[in-house]
Structure 1
Amino acid sequence: MFFSCSLNPSADCSQENITVMDENFEQLGVLCPNSNRIAEFESSGNVYIRATTNSYSLIRTIYFFFYSLNLANEAVDCGGDLSGTSGTISSPNYPNRHQPFTYCVWNVKTPKNTIANLSFTEIFIEPDSNCRFDFIALFDGPNTHSPLKDVLCGRTVTELEMSSNSFTLVFSADYANSYYGFSVDYTAIPLSSNSLGSLSCSGDSMTVVLNPAYISSLGYDANDLTLIDKTCGPISANPIVFEVPLTSCGTLKKVVDHTISYTNSISASTVGVITRHRQLQVIVTCELGKDSIAEIMYVTEDDIIQEYTGSGDYDVSLAFYPTEDFSTPVQDSPYFIELDETVFLQATVQSSDANLTVFVDTCFASPQANFQSPNYDLIRSGCIKDDTYNNIQSGSGYARFTFSAFKFLNIHPSLYLQCQLVICDSNDAGSRCDQGCITRERRDLGSKVWRTNAVVGPILLKRHNEPEAAG
């Protein structure tokens, strides 16, 4: 069900609203005078709608469209999560006619410190002055609860610029008047048009987005730019994008005071003995410090230095495995096991750096997903607290451990694990990964230890039939 409404803009939500309820009169949502004019609701049964207005004389407009679908047989496969510096989104079956009852949601994220620019090359969907029937809704943020940027329909082209590095695109079509749909190209551009660009870090690379207008003002273009390794150039010319690997293309790695950093530089090559262009060098550094990645980017132009800083996260996963060979992770959730059965887990850091290692500092269990008491320690500050816990073979970028499903599960129906993981360089002598068990009195991780929390669960006991229980 979709809503399009216009209420008294001078009223507050207590005076005027549209309240949507399910068949049990549980509230699905409330539309206020300042709410997005497009909203969506889902219910598995009847829906009740209550409209409340004040006594002010004004024309209000409320339109809603509802339909039911057998999702297993009728839902159109479309939408999804997208990321990167550029891409294209189009309606299902484009440039041919889209199916009736098409509903798609794309959640798009460009690199940090950039904004998304959208260019619709074609929009040809059912025209309506209020876009009530078929429409494209653009939300300036990561989901449909974000501010509504625009609603589009009919036959047109347009360009839009978002305020952040994420946006949500919804395409909805009813049962009639199917046309050719739409196609839109999105690209990442620097957060400010006056800036050189932006930098973001991940476990595999540094992503640098440079402003083409700025580079052009210095007399260069994308073809003139390379990393330290001159064979490594940009992957895109507009915007100018470098994916800087952590282990190649001249990237230098340093470990100082247990802090891991990666540095490379982008420079403009010149041809001939003399040049009338200003010298350009962009130095990018990802520093892995406490609980985060500090990103540093600065540019040198004839001894003029500009500095850019930011912050980022790193990707660490914690997964169950059914057997000790750790060949295939458990995909089912919840994970059902027998009491006293051995539980196999692997913590992994997603990185191309083969010298990174993972250490399980603390891991505890709770019957609650929010980890309120009671809690039970398996290992704390590297000190084993449960006699069934065992650290086993670890390797490049991962750590493995086991324990036995305990009687905690006889009292509570489920079990969740939260683990604090520390990532170190395997060649860094004396790092936290080498220190093992540290008592509270001696504990001092310092300010530059790279660590994170990972949560996994729930674990549930397998249910037995009566003969098995009797046995």
Structure 2
Amino acid sequence: MTFNRCDVKCGGNLRGYSGKISSPNYPNRHQPFTYCVWHVETPKNTKAKLSFSEVFVEPDVACRFDFVAVFDGPTTNSPLKDVLCGRTVGEVETSSNAFTLVFSADYANNYFGFSVDYIATPKANSSLSCSGDSMTVLINPDYINSLGYNANELTLINKTCVANSANPIVFEVPFGSCGTVKKVKDHTVYYTNTIFASTAGVITRHRQLQIIVTCELESDSIAEIMYVTENDIIQDQAESGKYDVSLAFYPNEDFIAPVLESPYFIELNESVFLQATVQSSDPDLTVFVDTCFASPQANFQAPNYDLIRRGCIKDNTYHNFPSGSRYARFNFSAFKFLNAHPSVYLQCQLVICDINDSGSRCNQGCVTRKRRDLGSTMWKTNAVLGPLRLKRHSEPEAAGSVSEKTEDVVKTDQTSLYVMGISVLVINVLILAFVVLRYSRREPRGYRYHAVATH
């Protein structure tokens, strides 16, 4: 007896933040000799969670005959995550934003196959991916719930633009609408929007939440910049690129212990020291500060002030320290924006290079021409930090100022009451004196009481 493989059309390439996959002819029996391969890609900086509502194929302890296999990557050469067979349900979670699903069946015991739902989940609290005309933001619902909000309370700048999905929380943010702000500078296009969490009513006991997302588009690259602010303090940050880079304030040029408090209060004109560090065990990496600019707003909308741009220093107090293995250091003098803006936020574009590559971007310094020669080995990432505030804007001083004003008011009121009391007393004495004087004038001058005559 010979068996011919059936011509079953199945499998394919899928993209998106959620979907459903099932075996051919499900929920009816699959055909013999079915072999399907699905290549699935979820948005960047996410992982996938697969929930099998049913697996009903030929049972075998070793899953040798009919099976469903999940590979943790874009091909069947990726690491095998799990194999399911028999009659079961289950959940599988990948470590990357791509997975490969294989369904294989032989000629005998054709059952009902399988059905699985998959959703993308951010690797951290949130994730961002950019395309040519929009950006996709995924937010972990558990993170939003921990702050006292839910998906229905999140909107973009245009409050009519709400989440496309509640689990995971997904925002498809178009570049041309929903309040997205476009900015063009030095042949680079920036698209920025903000996700707000808000509740109705007069008061709230929840922290103010903003998730700020930016897509930076150049002719040959796309960079994603995303960070979270709670009560205007940057709490979380997701960078794109091969390496993660941290940016921190330091109290002095020794660069021993970073400043942990936020906001960071500092005197006007006092030196601000910063260090950018690449998180890697490779000692041959170094960091170069390509661009760093400041803004009074956490979403980095205008006005902006350049400290350094494309390696060219723009602020006369800016100074680069010599770079070392896995770090770059710089400082500048603290300033404030006009029109009483109390905060300064920093956004820096950092380049990671091989320290032994003499032709890399890290060794080129200031580049003024339209396009940069990036060198043979280069990775680019972004880091944000803030707020930096002048000490005279701090709450204790503000409270002291209010206290002094209140004390002055109390002293003034006490003085006024004292003067008023003295004035009333003087007036009463004058009135009494006037009455006595007038009565004495009416009495006859010669009249006196005399003793009664006695006999």
TM-score, with length taken from structure 2: 0.52
Tell me, in whole angstroms, the C-alpha distance in 2 between the residues paired with 1:252 and 1:448.
Answer: 29
Q: State the Cα deviation string for residues 48-92 of structure 1 (Å, max 9, x = none).
A: xxxxxxxxxxxxxxxxxx9764xxxx3200000001000011001
- What is the letter of the counterpart of residue 155 of structure 1? R
Residue from 102, 106, 110 that aligns with 1:170: 102
Tell me, in whole angstroms, the C-alpha distance in 1 between the residues paired with 2:118 and 2:371.
Answer: 42
Could you tell me how far 1:238 is from its partner in structure 2?
Answer: 0.7
Counterpart in the other structure of 2:217: 288
Query: Does the CA-based 8 Å contact 2:187-2:370 persist in structure 1?
Result: no
Counterpart in the other structure of 2:164: 235
Task: Return 5+ residue gaps in structure 1 as ranges.
Answer: 1-65, 313-442, 450-471
Counterpart in the other structure of 2:146: 217
Tell me, in whole angstroms, the C-alpha distance in 2 between the residues paired with 1:287 and 1:228.
Answer: 19
- What is the letter of the counterpart of residue 52 of structure 2? F
- What is the letter of the counterpart of residue 371 of structure 2? G
Counterpart in the other structure of 2:8: 76
Counterpart in the other structure of 1:447: 372
Counterpart in the other structure of 1:310: 240
1:103 aligned to 2:35?
yes
Spell out the pairing of 1:454-469 with structure 2 (5 A cutoff).
Answer: none
Counterpart in the other structure of 1:43: none
Residue from 22, 39, 47 that aligns with 1:90: 22
170 and 274 in structure 1: CA distance in 2 versus 1, 3 angstrom threshold: same
Residue from 80, 84, 87 that aligns with 1:155: 87
Tell me, in whole angstroms, the C-alpha distance in 2 between the residues paired with 1:298 and 1:448.
Answer: 29
Between Structure 1 and Structure 2, the one with more strand by share is: 1
Q: State the Cα deviation string for residues 141-181 of structure 1 (Å, max 9, x = none).
A: 00011111111100000111101000000001111111111
Query: Does the CA-based 8 Å contact 2:3-2:107 persist in structure 1?
Result: no
- What is the letter of the counterpart of residue 158 of structure 1? G
Where 2:143 maps in the other structure, the secondary structure is helix
Query: Does the CA-based 8 Å contact 1:205-1:243 persist in structure 2?
Result: yes
Could you tell me how far 1:311 is from its partner in structure 2?
Answer: 4.7
Tell me, in whole angstroms, the C-alpha distance in 1 between the residues paired with 2:192 and 2:114.
Answer: 42
Residue from 181, 191, 205 that aligns with 1:276: 205
Q: State the Cα deviation string for residues 313-335 of structure 1 (Å, max 9, x = none).
A: xxxxxxxxxxxxxxxxxxxxxxx
Tell me, in whole angstroms, the C-alpha distance in 2 between the residues paired with 1:311 and 1:87.
Answer: 27
Tell me, in whole angstroms, the C-alpha distance in 1 between the residues paired with 2:117 and 2:221.
Answer: 32
Where 2:145 maps in the other structure, the secondary structure is helix
- What is the letter of the counterpart of residue 262 of structure 1? Y
Could you tell me how far 1:309 is from its partner in structure 2?
Answer: 1.6
Percent identity over the alignment is 70
Counterpart in the other structure of 2:77: 145
1:136 aligned to 2:61?
no
Task: Return 5+ residue gaps in structure 2 as ranges.
Answer: 243-367, 375-455
- What is the letter of the counterpart of residue 225 of structure 1? L
Could you tell me how far 1:448 is from its partner in structure 2?
Answer: 9.8
Where 2:240 maps in the other structure, the secondary structure is strand
Could you tell me how far 1:445 is from its partner in structure 2?
Answer: 3.8
Counterpart in the other structure of 1:265: 194
Tell me, in whole angstroms, the C-alpha distance in 2 between the residues paired with 1:93 and 1:207.
Answer: 33
- What is the letter of the counterpart of residue 372 of structure 2? S
Could you tell me how far 1:258 is from its partner in structure 2?
Answer: 1.1
Counterpart in the other structure of 1:254: 183
Tell me, in whole angstroms, the C-alpha distance in 2 between the residues paired with 1:67 and 1:252.
Answer: 62
Query: Does the CA-based 8 Å contact 1:123-1:153 persist in structure 2?
Result: yes
Query: Does the CA-based 8 Å contact 2:56-2:113 persist in structure 1?
Result: yes
- What is the letter of the counterpart of residue 263 of structure 1? T
Query: Does the CA-based 8 Å contact 2:186-2:370 persist in structure 1?
Result: no
Tell me, in whole angstroms, the C-alpha distance in 2 between the residues paired with 1:226 and 1:281.
Answer: 10
Counterpart in the other structure of 1:207: 136
Tell me, in whole angstroms, the C-alpha distance in 2 between the residues paired with 1:68 and 1:291.
Answer: 49
Q: State the Cα deviation string for residues 92-120 of structure 1 (Å, max 9, x = none).
A: 11111011111100000000000001110
Query: Does the CA-based 8 Å contact 2:208-2:232 persist in structure 1?
Result: no
Between Structure 1 and Structure 2, the one with more helix by share is: 2
- What is the letter of the counterpart of residue 148 of structure 1? L
